[in-house]
Amino acid sequence: MGRSTPFYACQSCGAQSRQFFGRCPGCGSWNSLVEQSNPAADGRRRRAAPAPPADGATPLPRRFEPIQAVGERPLRRLATGFPELDRVLGGGLVPGSLVLVGGDPGIGKSTLLLQSARALAEACSVLYVSAEESAQQVKLRWRRLGPEAGAEGTGDQAGLQLLAETDLELVLQELEALRPAVAIIDSIQALHDAELSSAPGSVSQVRDCAAALQRLAKRQDTALLLVGHVTKEGMLAGPKVLEHLVDAVLTFEGDRFASHRLLRAVKNRFGATHELGVFEMRDRGLAEVTNPSELFLGGDGPCAGTATIVACEGTRPLLVDLQALVSTTSYASPRRTATGIGINRLHQILAVLEKHLGLPLSRFDCYLAVAGGLDVEEPAADLGVAAAVVASYRDLTLPAGTVRGGGLGVGGQIRSVGQLELRLQEAARLGFTRAVVPRGSGLAPVAAALGLELLEAGGVAEALVAALGADPAAD
Ligand code: TYD
Ligand code: MG
């Protein structure tokens, strides 16, 4: 693409085109294409290719080597002060790595990273670049987050340096001068490269700033944490551009009206994805929730239409309450809503119950919610959804102390689920005494050792008899 040819870049996904479209052909977002005038603006940082050696001169030394000869360094990890964050990162922050922390504005990204900066600064040098808030504002927050008000001056924070700056060039200069072990950029969308004409936060700015920071950070082995806001459409600005560039993408999410926050790894070159960290926003910053199962159990005591399941997020089992409300419909087609679970899964489970148990659910509205605002995507929740729906339909309170885990096939069969042993251990730890699981789990000895009564079921009717303690189809 020539320098003088105007082109358009999507502000959501970074796709480029010479033609203007009202809807991005790459990601489908509307009105996201913006004219860019200078596509090759980051060329100024590109080095010219070395000149070929003149005839007879010694050839340039080659830099490739056999893979066996490549030296291996043990992977050190820096502790962030939050074991939950360390676990999501794969065991701590890897020096020289580039991590993107995304989330809605106001969810607590700055709080999380400033608290981590505090802890990291006790062991290494940290530069916190605030591009959105003034140094005064960050200081106020830092005080609020301290273990004791006015605890500054104890000397333990000597390693934490603060820079309130939005100009990329100045940030790079300071990074080069300080060579910190960790640098936090809050946020990448607020930084701006004066050599690009586009506005801060646009795809070209975000890409250019992140790439320039990455080059410097890799050279001096600085671990970089970039804060990225999620755009209106629910995507990290320039995700296609940044996600491939960074080593890990963490998302920080939660219900603004509830105090808990969930941290997930959606990409991680140094650890597993789908790990989950749970935090709670308090008056003095974020606190870890070490026993999240308690958070996702409704806590309202026995109640018709509530079923407990053991969900698994990464390697972490979580007990979660599902709550269903089934009531006679006054609409031509019944209303179905699902919060925290895919609506199509709910439709399918209702169809299975209608077909295989003969329940006339098409004459009933059905509302389903996962307690605590968690998203449960795995099929292991199916049996719990079915139990909650039937319990509400029949106005039954499910027997206390029972959990269920199992997928539901369209033929009404109960499907096996992964990590069942881990799930049973968590259920037993929290005082549950019975578990309804797919037939052939082979876990009878494990359950016996845990003191759990194991009810194995092959079909939906059988599973529900076990889960409800009553015949679901009886009237
Ligand atoms: P913040 O970290 O500024 O969010 P982000 O950087 O993701 O935009 O968090 C902002 C919210 O957190 C704000 O609504 C106030 C609240 N908060 C607390 O409840 N307790 C605290 O100790 C702090 C620092 C913030
Ligand atoms: Mg912030």
For ligand 1, mutation pick of 104, 259, 281, 284 (most atoms within 8 Å of CB): 281
Q: Residue 324 half-sphere exposure, CB side, CA atoms within 13 Å?
A: 32
- Ligand 1 atom nearest 186 alpha carbon: 6
Q: Which residues have a Cβ under 8 Å from the Cβ of 154 and sit 6 or more positions away? A: none
Q: How confident is the model at residue 50 (pLDDT cuts 50, 70, 90)?
A: low
Q: Which residues have a Cβ under 8 Å from the Cβ of 254 and sit 6 or more positions away? A: 107, 108, 260, 261, 262, 281, 373
Q: How many Å apart are CA 274 and CA 277, to the nearest integer?
A: 10
For ligand 1, mutation pick of 111, 112, 184, 227 (most atoms within 8 Å of CB): 111
Q: Give the residue, by CA position, lying nearest to ligand 1 atom 18.
A: 283
Q: How confident is the model at residue 53 (pLDDT cuts 50, 70, 90)?
A: low
Give the residue-averaged pLDDT of 426-441.
89
Q: How far is CA 415 from the centre of its chain?
A: 27
Give the residue from 268, 236, 275, 244 showing the smallest Cα distance to 93.
Answer: 268
Q: Give the residue, by CA position, lying nearest to ligand 1 atom 25.
A: 285
Ligand closest in space to the Cα of 140: 1
Q: Give the residue, by CA position, lying nearest to ligand 1 atom 16.
A: 108
List pLDDT tens digits, range 330-364: 988 999 999 999 999 999 999 999 999 999 999 99
User: SS3 of 89, please?
Assistant: helix
Q: How many Å apart are CA 297 and CA 312, to the nearest integer?
A: 14
List pLDDT tens digits, range 67-124: 888 888 777 899 999 999 999 999 999 999 999 998 888 899 999 999 999 999 998 9
- Ligand 1 atom nearest 141 alpha carbon: 24
User: Global pTM?
Assistant: 0.75
Give the residue-averaged pLDDT of 255-272.
83
Q: Give the residue, by CA position, lying nearest to ligand 1 atom 21.
A: 285
How many other CB atoms are there within 10 angstroms of residue 319's CB atom?
A: 23
The protein residues having their C-beta less than 5 angstroms from ligand 2 (an ion) are: 110
Ligand 1 mean position, distance from CA 286 (Å): 9
List pLDDT tens digits, range 371-422: 877 888 889 999 999 999 999 999 988 888 888 889 999 999 999 998 899 8
Q: Give the residue, by CA position, lying nearest to ligand 1 atom 1.
A: 108
* Secondary structure (DSSP) of 122-181: TTS-EEEEESSS-HHHHHHHHHHHSSSTT-TTSSTTTTEEEEE--BHHHHHHHHHHH--S
Q: Which residues have a Cβ under 8 Å from the Cβ of 29 and sit 6 or more positions away? A: 10, 12, 13, 23, 233
Q: How many Å apart are CA 335 and CA 333, to the nearest integer?
A: 7
**Pair of tokens at residue 318:** 């979580």
> What one-letter code names the amino acid at 157?
Q
